[in-house]
Structure 1
Amino acid sequence: MGVIGELVSTLFGSGRNVVAETVDVFRENAENGAKRDTEQVQAALTQFAAEFAFEQKSNFDKVIDGLNRIPRPAMALGTLGLFVSAMVDPIWFASRMQGIALVPEPLWWLLGAIVGFYFGARHQAKGQDFQRSIATTLARAGQVTQGISVLRALQSGLGAEVVQPAETNVIGGNFLENAALAEWKNAHS
């Protein structure tokens, strides 16, 4: 029994765990790895949200955005109008199509390039706006989660005394200063 006791005390005694320390040399600590991964994701989301911060648009930008919305509906409605005009006045429609037949091929290529670049640039701008809105939403995920935990603590009857002061900021203000929430808490206490 003395040899076994000496072996066990060597491996696990004196406040050390030689087996766990040896395993940590060859294998990452899962808890520490998860913590590092979470911090890395949070840092990336914070940077992404800062990069695509919401910008207030000027009146000029709003007017240009409005003008940029005209070509697609105009082309769609114009095409439908051509079908209607072909049925209502075929001679008028045929004379217009004869004029289009006289347009040289390089001009058609130029028109195709202009329309392609217009729609390509618009598609890219809309995609970037979508990514910006997702980054803003993801940046607020921590605040929303924090707010939900505070509200669940209130609902379970634990009250505000359980909530730490750092966790009381619920998207734009302190819930303890919110009269409606304070009234609800008093009614459910």
Structure 2
Amino acid sequence: MEARAIPVLDLLLTFIDEELLPNDTSDAAEEAWELMETIRPLVGRIRGLVDHRLGPLGEKLGPDSEYTLRCLSCGHFAAPVTPGNDGVRPVGCLLCGKAYDDLGSTVDAYGAGSFYEAVTQGGDPPAYPCAECFTAEACVVPTATADEPDGYVLVCLWGAHTLEGVCDFCQRAAVLALLEAQMYSDCLDVRYAKF
């Protein structure tokens, strides 16, 4: 029974996420989205479906494991960050289909804490600007990845790469060699402008 039901369930979930919900303009569309959000956490508990969906995805996720995030809905490492020509593509779980529409909602979901609390009460912000992407957006979040499931890695949600630390002066995430050398041109310009 399970061998027949799992492929049908897989096909049904794919149809709902890719065809039905994005194209539904009826009055019941919002209710359908809310219903799917209550179902998504349960998808990760159906072992046969997890094996069926993640089995073929293993090869696809393998090279991207350093920036594959744990899905906040189903709990599996199946949400790769994928860069696009204009920056971030929405992070979406390949297992349960949970997706974030834009960079802001992804940072809100994966960032630890809030910008307001960091400014008013001190502490680390939930996200940092990326020294490699040079965006004005705070797009680097400390989060667990498939490569580091028990720790935190700085992952750029804009460019889909990992970084090694945060500059003490400019508060941008960067690779370790740049952090040690403190060679950001704008950081140096600001420091030398004081003299």
User: TM-score normalised by the shorter chain: which range applies?
Assistant: under 0.3
Indicate the structure with greater strand content.
2
Relative contact order, higher structure (CA 8 A, sep 6+): 1
TM-score (norm 1): 0.24
TM-score, normalised via structure 2 length: 0.23
Q: Which has the larger Rg?
A: 1
Larger helix share, 1 or 2: 1
